[in-house]
């Protein structure tokens, strides 16, 4: 099949382009490069031996998206493109709603006009909000507590309404837990711009000497070691989850929701210890106050993805840290070197 990947030069997108090519698909990428570099695709091509077709296009520009669909026949879409920083979304809500919602509406309107009605969408565990018990199960009522999360929830609603109104659509909503790691080659990985918001990229930059120490946000939670628990998932497992979801919806219409996580929580200090093991030396850290909005613990109920997609995670937190470290060590400045 020919798959259009929006946001395909980004962290999860680039790993998914590689998995798609390895599964034999042709790939077309749309990205506006607001948070990524085309270098990722050059390296993906090096690894797979086949080049993806790249369009430097902003999804907010509907005419430009239309031109991409007019130029090549697309069979299905995996939609990663979006802004993703929770704190930034609180400060700049309009930018987030405009980019994520208008971009998605343009994409699905153009898809509809071109009779392309298969889409796999990047949602997030953040849609479960603060009110649900753990582990999170797909049938729970969702309700995000920040603008970024609300864009995910609203896009889930839009796609669900669309699937209900027009039964020709094949829709997969994938709720990711905490993606970390990198391709084991160390050639592609996460390249955050500015100060990393997320735990593992921050630890990696401390380990490589770009930052002084990790601040652990809160050591007094009601958890085994006092630090928060999250469900970390290797980005290559996550990429494979997209290929599995795409295959599942290919011959089924309707709207499907799956958690993509391991089903297991790991603490901040456990992740730090794994990363230290990968690096082979201690990583400086300090326990400080809690970060506003953080939940003490959450992880996925991962049984639906296993039952429906025969997909489950295969890689441990140790492997995530080893692969993340290989990428960071070989590319201390990310793609910028
Ligand atoms: N990384 C995570 O922790 C995480 C967790 C849950 C969900 N997600 C979601 O998964 C998706 C991919 O995340 P990622 O970590 O790879 O992020 P990323 O920033 O690396 O990738 C997103 C890509 O989308 C592009 N983009 C943004 N707005 C665009 C627009 N209007 N037009 C075209 N391209 C645009 C960016 O340039 C970037 O390459 C996002 O939708 C994100 O919200 C990520
Ligand atoms: O410098 C840091 C960064 C993070 N943490 C802690 O590490 C844990 C993980 O934090 P991340 O920021 O890596 O991940 P979150 O679980 O907060 O959120 C991420 O995963 C969510 C889904 O699970 C959403 O997608 C969200 O958008 C995305 O940022 C949290 O306890 C956080 O307090 C630190 O102690 N120090």
For ligand 2, is residue 125 a contact (CB within 6 Å)? yes
- % of the chain beyond a pLDDT of 70: 100
Q: Which ligand is nearest to the CA of 82?
A: 1
- Ligand 1: which residue has its CA nearest to atom 6? 124
| Angle between helices 199-207 and 268-279 in degrees, nearest 10 | 30
H-state helical runs in 98-198: 103-113, 147-165
How far, in Å, from the CA of 91 to the mean position of ligand 1? Answer: 18
Which residue in 247, 225, 265, 236 sits closest to 305, CA to CA? 247
What band does 231 get if pLDDT is binned at 50, 70 and 90? very high
Which of the following is catalytic: 11, 128, 148, 221?
A: 148
Q: pLDDT band at 337, cuts 50/70/90? A: low
Q: Would the CB of 271 count as within 6 Å of ligand 2?
A: no
pLDDT digits (tens, 9 = 90+) for 21-43: 999 999 999 999 999 999 999 99
How many Å from the N-terminal Cα to the C-terminal Cα in the chain? 34
Say if residue 325's pLDDT is above 60. yes
How would you classify residue 293: left for phi > 0, otherwise alpha for psi between -120 and 50, otherwise beta? left
If pLDDT is split at 50, 70 and 90, which confidence band does 16 have?
very high
Task: Report d(CA 81, CA 65) in Å as an integer.
Answer: 13
85 pLDDT band, cuts 50/70/90, is very high
Per-residue pLDDT, averaged over 109-133, amounts to 97
For ligand 1, mutation pick of 4, 5, 6, 7 (most atoms within 8 Å of CB): 7
**pLDDT averaged over every residue in the chain:** 97
Ligand nearest the Cα atom of residue 32: 1
ipTM over 0.90: yes
Q: Is the CB of 86 within 6 Å of ligand 2?
A: yes
The yes-or-no verdict on residue 103 having pLDDT over 60 is yes
List helix spans (H) across the chain.
11-22, 39-48, 62-71, 86-91, 93-97, 103-113, 147-165, 199-207, 235-250, 268-279, 303-309, 317-330
Q: Is the pLDDT of residue 187 over 60?
A: yes
pLDDT at 260 over 60: yes
Provide the 10 A C-beta neighbour count for residue 292: 8
Residue 49 has pLDDT above 90, yes or no: yes
Helical (H) or strand (E) element with 77: strand 76-79
Q: Measure 93 CA to ligand 1 centroid, in angstroms.
A: 16
Cβ–ligand 1 distance for 179 under 6 Å, the answer yes
Q: Mean pLDDT, to the nearest integer, of 332-336?
A: 94
Q: Tally Cβ neighbours within 10 Å of residue 283.
A: 15
Q: Minimal CA–CA distance to 122: which of 276, 272, 233?
A: 233
Contacts of 307 (CB under 8 A, 6+ apart): none
Cβ–ligand 1 contact at 156 (below 6 Å): no
pLDDT (average), residues 195-208: 97
Q: Give the integer Cα–Cα distance in Å for 94 and 92.
A: 6
Nearest to residue 227, comparing CAs of 245, 243, 213, 215? 215
User: CB 250: neighbour CB atoms within 10 A?
Assistant: 12
Q: Give this prediction's pTM.
A: 0.98
State the Cα–Cα distance between residues 241 and 310, nearest whole angstrom: 9
Say how far apart CA 61 and CA 84 lie, in whole Å: 19
């Amino acid at each position: 099949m020919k798959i259009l990947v929006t946001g395909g030069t980004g962290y999860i997108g680039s790993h998914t382009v590689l998995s798609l090519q390895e599964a034999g698909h042709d790939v077309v990428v749309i990205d506006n490069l607001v948070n990524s570099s085309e270098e990722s695709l050059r390296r993906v091509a090096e690894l797979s031996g086949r080049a993806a077709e790249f369009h430097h296009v902003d999804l907010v520009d509907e005419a430009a998206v239309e031109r991409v669909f007019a130029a090549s026949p697309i069979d299905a879409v995996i939609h990663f493109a979006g802004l993703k920083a929770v704190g930034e979304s609180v400060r700049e809500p309009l930018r987030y709603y405009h980019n994520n919602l208008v971009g998605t509406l343009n994409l699905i309107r153009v898809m509809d006009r071109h009779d392309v009605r298969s889409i796999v969408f990047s949602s997030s565990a953040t849609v479960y909000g603060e009110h649900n018990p753990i582990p999170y199960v797909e049938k729970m009522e969702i309700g995000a507590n920040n603008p970024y999360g609300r864009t995910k929830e609203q896009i889930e609603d839009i796609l669900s309404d669309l699937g209900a109104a027009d039964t020709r659509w094949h829709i997969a909503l994938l709720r990711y837990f905490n993606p970390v790691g990198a391709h084991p080659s160390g050639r592609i990985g996460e390249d955050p711009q500015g100060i990393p918001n997320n735990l593992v990229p921050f630890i990696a930059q401390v380990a490589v000497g770009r930052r002084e120490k990790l601040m652990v946000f809160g050591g007094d939670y009601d958890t085994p070691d006092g630090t928060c628990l999250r469900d970390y998932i290797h980005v290559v497992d996550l990429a494979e989850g997209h290929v599995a979801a795409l295959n599942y919806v290919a011959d089924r219409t309707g709207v499907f929701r799956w958690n993509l996580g391991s089903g297991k929580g790991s603490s901040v200090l456990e992740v730090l210890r794994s990363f230290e093991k990968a690096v082979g030396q201690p990583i400086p850290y300090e326990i400080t106050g809690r970060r506003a909005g953080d939940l003490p613990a959450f992880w996925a109920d991962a049984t639906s993805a296993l039952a429906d997609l025969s997909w489950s995670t295969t890689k441990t937190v140790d492997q995530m840290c080893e692969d993340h470290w290989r990428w960071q060590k070989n590319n201390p400045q990310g793609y910028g070197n």
